[in-house]
């Protein structure tokens, strides 16, 4: 049965690939350089499938409603902050194992993937539709720029990134003025699981904290993505000026482990604990969302936790941008201060 299904998928993918280019001319295409090389795509792709979380977030931010998305890691089947914008959109399996038959049936004219997840199935994806990819899943700026270039929404992406840069500059100035000599702070991003603890040094949250001026704890230098801690004796590794705790409150096993570790005497000796700078934050915004909407939500948290005024907080919803895009941006990409 599995062999027959795979054969049918490949045949369908090949058929779609043979049909899509019909009637296209050089003027109807653009070439986008990406992690999969130079990809020729329609000048204005209308049916977009996103195969990782950051791509889905970025598409919504740009006013695009994909025809297909992969399931979310938490809050299944889709993160709450994206549900209104993605109501009725087809799901095409997991980020790590997309259902290629479902993707093919959607007849996309653009697939957004990532080499980190999808290098192995790249040949099959490219038979279904033109496919562009980023190198990683967590570089939200690269994802935003790639999707914008592939769909002709470069002006909208520039505006989103200008707004982001303005917020970053404002936060850096305000936190430096507020903390004085206590800035910059060393920040630990800690995620409690049911049987261990992870402390991150890179990835989505780490890259944003670095851009904002935070520093890494001394224990994380040259540790790659971070560290997995399985014994309470390792608690001193988490020592930092501030600790951001990623929780999944609906998982009883995780919450039990969290209470167990945080009741240990070594936890109570951590600098952040003694200074009351341990903040519980949303794992979706901080590591799972992966796009510019999640990045802004993470920055919202930081303004709030440090008690800073936030004069540049985004006020326009992604849904409003999508409504505007449906009537304007398919023909021309216009500058928009709102979107």
**Mind giving me the DSSP string for 277-334?**
-EEEEEHIIIIIS-SHHHHHHHHHHHHHHTT---TT---S-HHHHHHHHHHHTTT---
pLDDT in tens, the chain (339 residues): 444 444 444 454 444 444 444 334 445 788 999 999 999 999 889 999 999 999 999 999 999 999 999 999 999 999 999 999 999 999 999 999 999 999 999 999 999 999 999 999 999 999 999 999 999 999 999 999 999 999 999 999 999 999 999 999 999 999 999 999 999 999 999 999 999 999 988 889 999 999 999 998 887 765 567 789 999 999 999 999 999 999 887 889 999 999 999 999 999 999 999 999 999 999 999 999 999 999 999 999 999 999 999 999 886 444 444 444 433 333 234 333 333
* Cβ 34 vs Cβ 16: under 8 Å: no
Q: The sheet that has 187-192: what strands, in order across it?
A: 226-229, 197-200, 187-192, 242-247, 278-282
Distance CA 60, CA 140 (A): 13
* Cβ 59 vs Cβ 66: under 8 Å: yes
Largest CA distance in the chain: 70
Q: What are phi and psi of 121, to 5 degrees?
A: -100, 10
């Amino acid at each position: 049965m599995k062999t027959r299904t795979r054969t049918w998928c490949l045949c369908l993918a090949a058929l779609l690939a043979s049909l899509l280019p019909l009637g296209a001319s050089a003027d109807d295409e653009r070439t986008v350089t990406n992690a999969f090389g130079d990809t020729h795509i329609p000048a204005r792709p209308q049916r977009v499938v996103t195969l990782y979380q950051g791509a889905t977030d970025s598409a919504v931010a740009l006013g695009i409603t994909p025809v297909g998305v992969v399931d979310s890691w938490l809050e299944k089947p889709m993160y709450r902050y994206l549900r209104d914008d993605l109501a009725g959109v087809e799901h095409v399996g997991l980020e790590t194992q997309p259902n290629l038959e479902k993707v093919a049936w959607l007849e996309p004219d653009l697939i957004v993937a990532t080499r980190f997840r999808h290098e192995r199935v790249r040949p099959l994806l490219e038979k279904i539709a033109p496919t562009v990819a980023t190198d990683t899943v967590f570089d939200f700026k690269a994802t935003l720029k790639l999707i914008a270039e592939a769909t002709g929404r470069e002006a909208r992406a520039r505006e989103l990134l200008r707004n982001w840069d303005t917020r970053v500059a404002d936060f850096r100035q305000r936190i430096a003025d507020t903390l004085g000599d206590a800035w910059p702070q060393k920040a630990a991003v800690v995620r409690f699981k049911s049987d261990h603890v992870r402390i991150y040094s890179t990835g989505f949250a780490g890259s944003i904290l670095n851009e904002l001026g935070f520093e890494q704890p001394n224990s994380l230098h040259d540790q790659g993505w971070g560290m997995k801690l399985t014994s309470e004796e390792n608690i001193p590794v988490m020592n930092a000026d501030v600790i951001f705790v990623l929780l999944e409150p609906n998982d009883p096993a995780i919450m039990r482990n969290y209470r167990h570790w945080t009741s240990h005497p070594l936890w109570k000796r951590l600098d952040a604990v003694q200074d009351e700078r341990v903040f519980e934050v949303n794992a979706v915004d901080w590591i799972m969302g992966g796009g510019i909407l999640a990045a802004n939500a993470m920055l919202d948290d930081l303004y709030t936790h440090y008690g800073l005024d936030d004069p540049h907080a985004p006020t326009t919803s992604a849904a409003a941008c999508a409504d505007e895009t449906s009537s304007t941006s398919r023909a021309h990409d216009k500058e928009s201060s709102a979107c």
